[in-house]
């Protein structure tokens, strides 16, 4: 899903089992993106948290190995060891200093690991961390486009606020309140997390009881002008008609027939014959061999 594929977004709908974000592609095909709920997102984060903790452990071990191997940091490491000795002596100054350094180092490693993990994953996989891939989720920008580096950077920097006071309480409250399930990072970045539900099997474009194609006299030149874009328009329009309200279906047929007749030539199709016109055209187009790609 490319970032420039979607040119508009309609208001959020919630008439189904879950809220959906309605987007319209450049070809004027309406798509529904089901939004991920707080529970699913938290489960995905728990899976990511396991990976992040492993990364933090690896980074912590790496830092101590580098400190032990570097002459510049050997003295500082000795100071840490001396401070750790304060635990046995009970010196509160030594104990407090050691804990402050240790907590600061751990927090720094946590921020680096978490920010870096989500930023790299979202940029290399198109908005999916390992947890999101496991739960079939994806981060997209408002309107359905691919997440950008700026959006990913903003939404992940705002984790510092969403995580407050602990366990992502602020972010969880924001997701529950938001009609689109957005945490504060999503609001600031203009992103939303959607579910990648498995698509139902596609319906046949034309039923077996479709009209006889001889009713509409398409000539060879018209069928040759029926390119991939026109084929896609006819196919998508016919497949969506039974799912649309009558007035929406009529508008979809009107737009499709207007585009096709302008491309192929011919008279305007009467409103009652528009569906039969597209079905007959599809039947004839499917009988003709498609041109080889790149020819």
Residues 68-119 pLDDT 10s: 666 555 566 566 566 555 555 555 555 555 566 666 777 777 778 888 999 9
pLDDT of residue 285: 76
Whether residue 254 contacts residue 269, with contact meaning beta carbons closer than 8 Å, is answered with no
Q: How far apart are CA 275 and CA 289, in angstroms?
A: 23
pLDDT of residue 175: 93
Q: How far apart are CA 211 and CA 208, in angstroms?
A: 9
Q: The tokens of 241 are what?
A: 């008609």
**214 phi, psi to nearest 5 deg:** -70, -15
Q: For the chain, give the mean pLDDT.
A: 76
pLDDT of residue 104: 72
pTM of the entire structure?
0.57
pLDDT mean over 210-239: 76
Q: What percent of the chain has pLDDT over 70?
A: 67
């Amino acid at each position: 899903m490319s970032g420039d594929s979607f040119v508009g977004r309609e208001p959020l709908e919630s008439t189904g089992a879950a809220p959906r974000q309605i987007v319209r592609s450049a070809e004027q095909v309406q798509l529904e993106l089901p939004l991920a709920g707080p529970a699913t997102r938290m489960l995905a984060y728990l899976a990511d948290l396991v990976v992040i903790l492993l990364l933090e452990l690896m980074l912590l071990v790496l830092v101590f190995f580098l400190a032990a191997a570097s002459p510049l940091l050997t003295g500082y490491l000795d100071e840490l060891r001396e401070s750790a000795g304060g635990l046995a002596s009970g010196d509160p100054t030594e104990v407090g200093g050691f804990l402050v350094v240790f907590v600061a180092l751990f927090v720094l490693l946590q921020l680096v690991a978490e920010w870096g993990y989500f930023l790299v994953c979202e940029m290399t996989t198109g908005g999916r961390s390992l947890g999101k891939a496991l739960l079939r989720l994806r981060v997209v920008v408002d309107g359905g486009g691919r997440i950008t580096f700026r959006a990913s950077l903003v939404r992940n920097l705002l984790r510092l606020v969403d995580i407050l006071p602990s366990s992502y309480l602020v972010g969880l409250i924001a997701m529950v309140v938001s009609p689109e399930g957005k945490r504060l990072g999503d609001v600031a970045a203009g992103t939303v997390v959607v579910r990648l539900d498995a698509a139902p099997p596609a319906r046949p474009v034309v039923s077996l009881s479709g009209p006889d194609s001889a009713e509409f006299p398409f000539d060879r030149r018209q069928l040759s002008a029926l390119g991939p874009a026109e084929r896609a328009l006819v196919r998508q329009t016919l497949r969506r008609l039974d799912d649309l309200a009558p007035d929406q279906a009529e508008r979809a047929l009107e737009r499709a027939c207007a585009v096709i007749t302008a491309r192929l030539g011919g008279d305007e199709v009467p409103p009652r014959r528009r569906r039969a016109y597209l079905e007959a055209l599809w039947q004839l187009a499917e009988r003709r061999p498609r041109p080889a790609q790149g020819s």
